[in-house]
Structure formats: structure tokens, C-alpha cells
Amino acid sequence: KKTGTPFNVRLMDIPLTIIERYKDSQASGQLLPVPSKGVVDNALRYIHRKCELKQGLSFHMGRHTFASLITLSEGVPIETVSRMLGHKNIKTTQIYAEVSHDKILQDMKILSGRIAGKYTWID
């Protein structure tokens, strides 16, 4: 809605199960119930209290977690993540691209395997 750019995203099994559960119960013509921002904020505050989390929860934090921990750290290309988030400009997505120490080690291991035997050291 923010950018007005249409995009398609393949849904994984859990969201498909949720959609299947609610598909016949929406009189409004919407696929899923769409709570107001206030309802979502109250639910997040409730979860925060019940889980005794140190850091607060927000919708934005969920997007950030999805982008950085769930997709980018698992090797999903930043171009794909950008489209999934509906960003028009990849620079917006790069804000989420925090590279962890473990990710650097993992990528270096992959690179080492790919170039093994292709280059030699000459004394």
C-alpha cells in the first residue's frame, strides 16, 4: 500500500494453512481478518508482557526480523527480499542487511569450496 507497487509472493505452508482455515469465514470479502493498528499493538504488548521480553515488540520489528534473520541470513538474495517487502528501491532493503559474524564465516567457507583447486600459490 505504501509504494503502490504490485508484487507476488509464494506462500509457505503455515500461511497457506491459516488462509485455508479462514477462507469461508470472511463476510467482508477480505481473505483474512484485518485488525486495526490499535488491536495489533495491544496484542503485541500482551505478548511482550506474557513472554517477559526485554525489548518491545512492533510490526516494524517483525518486518525487520523477517528481512534480516529469516531471509537474508538464510541466503535469500537481497533482490528477492526487497520484492517480498514491497520496496521500490533496493537501498531501502539494504537497511535490513545486517551481516552477522556467523554469516561471514559461512559465506567464506562456501567461497573456499567453490574456488578450491582453481587457483594455486606460486613461490
Task: Name the domain count of the chain.
Answer: 1
Is 1 inside a domain boundary? no
Does residue 101 fall inside a structural domain?
A: yes
Q: Is the pLDDT of residue 2 over 70?
A: no
What average pLDDT does the structure give for the chain? Answer: 83
Task: For cell 495491544, name the residue.
Answer: 42
Confidence at residue 49, expressed as pLDDT on a 0 to 100 scale = 92
String of DSSP letters for 53-105: -SS---HHHHHHHIIIIIIGGGT--HHHHHHHTT-SSHHHHHTT-PPPHHHHH
**Is 106 a member of any domain?**
yes
**Apex CA 21: angle with CA 16 and CA 26, to 5°?**
110
pTM, 2 dp: 0.57
- The whole-number average pLDDT for the span 70-96 is 87
Domain that holds residue 101: 13-115
Query: Is residue 93 included in any domain, yes or no?
Result: yes
Q: What's the confidence (pLDDT) of residue 52?
A: 92
The arithmetic mean of pLDDT across residues 21-27, rounded, is 76
pLDDT above 80 (res 87): yes
Distance of CA 43 to the CA centre of its chain: 20
Segment 70-79 shows an average pLDDT of 85
Whole-number pLDDT of residue 46:
93
Residue 70 forms part of a structural domain: yes
Asked if the structure places residue 76 within a domain, the reply is yes
Residue 56 banded pLDDT, cuts 50, 70, 90: confident
Q: Does residue 7 belong to any structural domain of this protein?
A: no
* pLDDT at residue 7 tops 70: no
Query: Is 8 among the domain residues?
Result: no
